[in-house]
Copies of this chain bind each other. A is one copy, B any other.
């Protein structure tokens, strides 16, 4: 069993094209023996956003803190806040945008074989 606070995991800048003020902490991964899916914690600063992009794998996200929006396939903005679960199906265009003056923090899990 592994128990770790997200605060004790290094936050690394996300440098993908289109990412604005985003960091990622990998909380559970293949390195722990997790063969099926991977838990990451993202933080997006005020005015920041994850890239508007698509990929063949799904996201399962959960908003921990902050107020923001998920931009969907049609570029509609879906408001999100603490306690919201978000499922992004494979191949759907999406972005997480911070709409507040404080950090938007969320978990985002993906299948382990993906990036």
Interface residues of A (CB under 8 A from B): 1-7, 27-28, 32-37, 39, 41, 58, 60, 62, 64, 70, 72-73, 78, 80, 83-89, 92, 94, 107, 109, 111
Contacts and interface: CB of A to CB of B under 8 A. Distances in A.
A3 B60 contact: no
Given A1-B92, A60-B109, A88-B1, A36 B34 contact: no
When all copies of this chain in the complex are counted, the total is: 2
B39 A36 contact: no
Contacts of A89: 1, 32-33
Contacts of A28: 60, 85, 87
Contacts of A86: 1-3
